[in-house]
Each structure stands twice: as structure tokens, then as C-alpha cells.
Amino acid sequence: MLQKLQNLFTLYKIIKARGNRELIRHSRKQLIEFIFCKNDLNPKSFFQAMFYWFNMLKGLDALVWRLETFGFLYSPNLNDEEKKKLNQYL
């Protein structure tokens, strides 16, 4: 339990440092559907989704990888020019 709370704070720091704020502002509805698992691929109820994300905090690397894959986090090795290039089609 303590490890999950530590991972939650670490995730907060990662999102604060590497979060793709432009994409998050532009696609807020998709982010909410992603968090609450309301998409067609993996639908869950509210409580199942919260339990799912709480269990995902066991392995912070997998959770960060998923957020990077969906574009909500920048890769740690991108510079400002590459970040602008990624978001040019928003």
C-alpha cells in the first residue's frame, strides 16, 4: 500500500514535468474516457476502473509507458522543438 502511494506521488511529479498540456487541453474528453475506461476496447464501471488504476500503481513503469503511448506524456529525451513538432496538428 505504501509503495502505491509513493508511486502515485512519483506519477504526479512525472506528469507535472513531462505532461503534454496542449494535448490534454485539446482532448480532455478522450483523457476522461481513458481514465474511467469508457472506451469500446476495455469498458469498466467506475469502481472497476478505480480498482484497475490503483492496481496499475504497483508497476509505475507500465503506467508511464501507457501514458507516453497515448501521448499524454512526452518522452524524457525530447527537446522543445520536437515537442512543438508533435503537437503541430492539434
42-90 pLDDT, tens digit per residue, is 788 889 988 888 888 888 898 899 888 888 898 888 888 888 888 887 6
Computed on alpha carbons and rounded to an integer, the radius of gyration of the chain in Å comes to: 14
Q: Which pLDDT tens digit goes with each residue over 28-53?
A: 888 888 888 887 777 888 899 888 88
> Is-above-0.85 flag for pTM?
no
Domain count, the chain: 1
By residue range, what is the domain housing residue 71? 2-86
pLDDT at residue 90 in the model: 67
Residues 6+ apart with CB under 8 A from 27: none
Using CB atoms within 10 Å of the CB of residue 82, give its burial: 0 to 12 exposed, 13 to 18 middle, 19+ buried.
Answer: exposed
Whole-number pLDDT of residue 80: 84
